[in-house]
Amino acid sequence: RKGIRIEGLSKRYGQGDTAVFALKDVNMQVAPGEVVGLIGPSGSGKSTLLKCLGAVIDPTAGRMVLDDEVIYDEGWKVRDLSALRRDKIGFVFQAPYLIPFLDATDNVALLSMLAGVPNAEARAKALELLTALDVQHRAHAMPSALSGGEQQRVSIARGLVNRPPVILADEPTAPLDSVRAMAVIRILNDMAKRFEAAIIVVTHDEKIIPTFKRIYHIRDGVTHEELGEGRGFD
């Protein structure tokens, strides 16, 4: 596993007089096993960067390598984006987006089943993650019966179930108290180590910012790298 590499990435929305450069020559590298923070004010380009990395939108120029695969290079891009998203990228969103008619376990197991893992095995993996996130007692609850924090932890488990080499997390701890926020950071660090995942966490959460060893600050589409406090998560 090779992590994430972004070189000279730019993204322009619109044309001519109304064009907005949301990303300007962004360079970024996240090693396998590393969890980095991405921090910036509203409108700075965080969502745009995550959407480019997640192959949800196309960048305007530059190069992106996920794991060992060049996914975009100056206008050229991989053909099968949906397979790429399924196999290489774990998404953890701000809102849980759980499927309302599946219980917590099946919400987590679904992506694994779709990737061809036998149901029993997929459910066992799901339960292991739910246990690590301390929601195993809700394994058979439907989403509507879960609290906001429980839904969030189930959705985090779902993003990790295929052990993706790249994990993109958008404000994963926003609705959680500090004990649970730390548990989420712990499991992301654990995933990074155990599966050599490269993880980017977009956050404003003051509780978790001191845990990062490295932080990318973004402002008006320009990134600056800084060392974080790197206090870890215990």
The residues of the shown chain that bind ligand ADP, judged by CB under 6 A, are 13-14, 20, 22, 40, 42-48
Q: C-beta of 45: minimal distance to ligand ADP in Å?
A: 4
Residues in Cβ contact with 55 at an 8 Å cutoff, skipping those fewer than 6 apart: 71, 72, 77, 78, 81, 84, 85, 89
By beta-carbon proximity to ligand ADP, the closer residue of 32 and 221 is 221
Of 176, 163, 166, 227, which Cα lies nearest the Cα of 203?
176
* CA–CA dist 2, 6 (Å, integer): 12
By beta-carbon proximity to ligand ADP, the closer residue of 78 and 174 is 174
* CA–CA dist 192, 165 (Å, integer): 8
Q: C-beta of 13: minimal distance to ligand ADP in Å?
A: 3
By beta-carbon proximity to ligand ADP, the closer residue of 91 and 233 is 91
Q: C-beta of 196: minimal distance to ligand ADP in Å?
A: 27
7 burial (CB, 10 Å; 0-12 / 13-18 / 19+) is: middle
* CA–CA dist 88, 192 (Å, integer): 14
By beta-carbon proximity to ligand ADP, the closer residue of 23 and 161 is 23
Q: C-beta of 137: minimal distance to ligand ADP in Å?
A: 31
